[in-house]
Chain A
């Protein structure tokens, strides 16, 4: 066998699995969104854009879309901000860097369901640790997973889970900046803030941007954490598109509507992914 052919041959197993998990489902999903297809449909048939009209007119869809944007924007912003803060702190050459590096990925490697249990326990209005401190400081116990706060409470958990992970990447970026640049600036009499604002930040901005976009894709679709904490409740206040699609399948048994929601999610993801690709191309060239 020629070497060239054998390289294609080596790619086949990966291709087969990607076909099964991505390619086929992607086309099937698009097909489903144009069909009438429920659990009780005997023979699915073509209905044009009817599912799209139904989904777009569903008030729950716009609620979920709004929640998803809020949840994504807040999560990503604070993940990167806290990550940057932690990275700058650890970049100071003192002890602490190693310990942090060893512990930073801890929340990131734990199962989201386990994290949900932990935080539900911490948030518990009757015997939770956080409310203990609230009461200690003279406040009344807060229902963190009630209607008003649930979205912010789960968003905080998501921030907590991922910011150390981003800190690790930003730290790697900071360490790749040559030390000479800093020295030159300090000799010229720059302040710490000045150095950060005019040297460090511009140099790591491309990294932050790419990370923010990746975080956007991950968070926007992040079903596991939000669903195991609140199941989208109470009263749809933490419903995002992913949880809505899940409920549409398993509570309403409407595969067609759920697939249509999936197509919307896919389009949003696809656009963000293309932006990431073109940005990282530009950064490398």
Chain B
């Protein structure tokens, strides 16, 4: 009995340690962003806030755009536009392809699947030079359209597997009766498959959006001018500055993690299932 108790104690100590390792750094980002400068740079640091202020956020939105041309609001807006549009494209192309892979019985299907898998393993960073030159040739450098064109291909292989894995599990009888009634593939997809696949749609949209939101290399290469910076690039130029304005930087970082955080908190179950399903497939 005594042994039992001590091993339960050990278990909880280890769990708390584990959670501490994950959570303390995130706490140490969010909490200080609400501190006045005097407390932020106190040493020894105050582990709990003694006074709270929104000054860092005020500076970020009001002072910096005027004084140092850092405009976090604009960067966040750019990110929303580029990632939103590109995620929409990802949803369409990966549901179409996922349906073909799930239902189609055609020659070369395995080859198609292997090709998609190989592209999934090739990360974005490998090809940023030719992509940069291509976009330069098309005159799309420093244009959000470049991101909207390039992002989908980078995310679609994975979301195609998510959608294939999901569609395979939808009973085929429903479609067959619709086919007998003369429905086209398009009707089947949009009238039958999509309404049945809300979790899949959510998983794909969130996965793509968060992936693109988090990207640095592609947006750094394609959109580095101030007016078209995404949130990641905007933050990055903040760090690169000679003297780091920690107050504004921490506040900006908190804003930058909010969209993934909120999406994740709301749709966690879908995402974990979707990612587990998609990867176990691969």
Contacts and interface: CB of A to CB of B under 8 A. Distances in A.
Contact of B231 (A14, A21, A111, A277): A111
A164 B129 CA distance: 33
A96 B130 contact: no
A112 interface: yes
B80 interface: no
B122 A22 contact: yes
Contacts of A90: 15
Given A13-B93, A117-B249, A103 B19 contact: yes
Interface stretch (A47-55, A57-65, A241-249): A241-249
B99 A10 contact: yes
A67 interface: no
Interface in B25-46: 25-26, 28-29, 32, 40-45
Contacts, number: 253
Interface stretch (A71-79, A177-185, A198-206, A254-262): A254-262
A109 B210 contact: yes
Interface in A224-247: 224, 227-228, 231, 242, 245-246
Chain A: interface secondary structure? Answer: helix
A152 interface: no
Interface in A91-126: 92, 94, 96, 99-107, 109-114, 116-122, 126
A70 B265 CA distance: 35
A107 B24 CA distance: 11
Interface stretch (B49-57, B66-74, B100-108, B195-203): B100-108
Contact of A111 (B125, B131, B214, B279): B214
Contacts of A127: 40-43, 45
Nearest to B119: A22
A21 B121 contact: no
A132 B217 contact: no
14 contacts: A6-B185, A11-B97, A14-B94, A14-B96, A24-B134, A113-B235, A117-B250, A126-B41, A126-B43, A160-B25, A172-B276, A224-B214, A224-B232, A249-B129
Interface of A: 3-4, 6-8, 10-11, 13-14, 17-22, 24-26, 28-29, 32, 86, 89-90, 92, 94, 96, 99-107, 109-114, 116-122, 126-127, 129, 132, 135-136, 160, 164, 168-169, 172, 214, 217-218, 221-224, 227-228, 231, 242, 245-246, 249, 255, 258-259, 262, 265-266, 269-270, 273, 276-277, 280
